[in-house]
Amino acid sequence: MLELIDLDIKELEYSRFISSWFYQGKEGCFLIDPGPACTINHLFAELEKRNVTHLDWILLTHIHMDHAGGIGHLVERFPDARVICHKNAVKHLKNPERLWEGSLKILGDVARVYERIKPVPSANIMTVAQVPFDNGTRLNEGIRVIPTPGHAAHHQCFVWKDVLFCGELFGIFHQLDNSIYLRPATPPVFVLDDFLRSMDAVAPYMDRRVCFSHYGTCTDGVEVMKVARQQLLLWVDVIGRHMDDPDMDQVIDDLSDKDPVFARKALLATELYKREMHFSVNSIKGILQYFSNGLT
C-alpha cells in the first residue's frame, strides 16, 4: 500500500508542506524522501505504527534540507537500507558540511529549524550506475529512475507501477475544490533548458498518478505537465520583462494578473497563502538570476 506521511514542521507552522511517500508490500519496502532532520522522530513514529522493521530502498528526489535532511538519521535506524541518489549528490551525503553551510546561507533561521543533516555511510549510497537494474533503467522492484535536473542539478524522478514521484519538477501543488494550484519551483541556480529537457524525459510516463513532494497527489498527470510547462514559460517571459526594475511586489502582481493558476493562491488557506507568498520570491529570484547570468 502506498501512503503519504505528513511531515508538519510545527516550529514554522508549516502544515501540508512536505511529506514522505511510503510503500510496504510484497515487492518490498521503500520510502521517498525522509524530510528534514527536525521531523525524523515523527517519521520514526509513523513507521513504527506500520510495524516497519526494514527498509529496502530510500529514494531521494534531491538533497535539499527539507527533503533529505533526515537521511543520516534514517540510515542509522535502518542500516541495511540502500539510498538511491543522483551521482551529483553522493559527495554531499558522505560529507554534508557544504550542503549545511549553503542551506544556512540561503535559508538562515529556517535551516536551523530544519536541523543539521548527518553523514550517510558510503556503503549505503548507490547511484543509477551502481544498483541492479532491469533493462538498464529499473530497480529490481520495478522502480524506474529518471534524472531530471532543473530544480536542482541532483534532482531525479521515480516511476513505479502507475505512479510518478515527481519531486519538485512540476513545482508546488495543492488540490483545490474544483481546480489545482501550481507554482514553479525555480530557486537559484535556475536553467530553463534543463527544466524543459527534464519534463521531456518524463513525458512518456505522464499517463499516471503524480505524487508531489509539495504537496499531495493528482490523477491527471498529462494535464499537470501541460499546465506546469506552460506556467514555467509564462513566468520566464513575465519576469524577464522586469529585469530593468525587479520590484518583487510588482513582479508578483504581474504574475498574478497573467497566470490564473498562480492567482489561485487566493483560494489557499491563510497559512498556505502566506507561505506561498514567501517562497514565490525565491522562485522569482532564480529566474532573475537566470537572466542576469546570461543563460538565455
pLDDT at 250 over 70: yes
Domain contains 34: yes
Domain that holds residue 104: 2-147
Say what the pLDDT of residue 143 is.
Answer: 85
Q: Which of 16, 19, 59, 61 is nearest to 39 (CA)?
A: 19
Cell numbers describing residue 129: 550506475
Residue pointed to by grid coordinates 547511484: 127
pTM (2 d.p.): 0.93
Total domains present in the chain = 1
Collapsing DSSP states into helix, strand and coil, what is residue 173? strand
Whether 220 is in a domain gets the answer no
d(CA 256, CA 272): 16
Confidence of residue 214 (pLDDT cuts 50, 70, 90): very high
Q: What angle do CA 99, 163, 268 make, to 5 degrees?
A: 70
Q: Is residue 292 part of a domain?
A: no
On whether residue 210 sits in a domain, the answer given is: no
- Examine the pLDDT at 194 and tell me if it is beyond 80: yes
Decide if 114 is inside a domain.
yes
Residue 115 in any domain: the answer is yes
Residue 108 lies in a domain: yes
Output the nine-digit C-alpha cell for 215. 504537496
Query: Which pLDDT does position 129 carry in this prediction?
Result: 64
Do 61 and 143 touch, CB atoms closer than 8 A?
no
Whether residue 39 has pLDDT greater than 70: yes
The confidence score (pLDDT) of residue 136 equals 41
SS3 of residue 287 by DSSP: helix
Q: Return d(Cα 218, Cα 224) in angstroms, integer.
A: 8
Q: Indicate whether 238 pLDDT > 60.
A: yes
CATH number of the domain where residue 115 is located: 3.60.15.10
Residue 201: inside a domain, yes or no? no
Q: Is 182 helix (H, G, I), strand (E, B) or coil?
A: strand
Identify which of 77, 95, 89, 87 has the alpha carbon closest to the alpha carbon of residue 31.
77
Cα 284 from Cα 210, distance rounded (Å): 25
Q: Is residue 137 predicted with pLDDT exceeding 60?
A: no
DSSP assignments along 81-99, one per residue: PEEE--GGGHHHHHSTHHH
Sign of CA dihedral 54, 56, 61, 62: positive
pLDDT at 296: 61
510496504: which residue's cell?
Answer: 24
DSSP β-ladder status, 82-84 and 125-126: parallel
- For the segment 120-135, the average pLDDT, to the nearest whole number, is 76
Q: What is the pLDDT of residue 135?
A: 42
Contact yes or no for 224/210 (Cβ under 8 A): yes
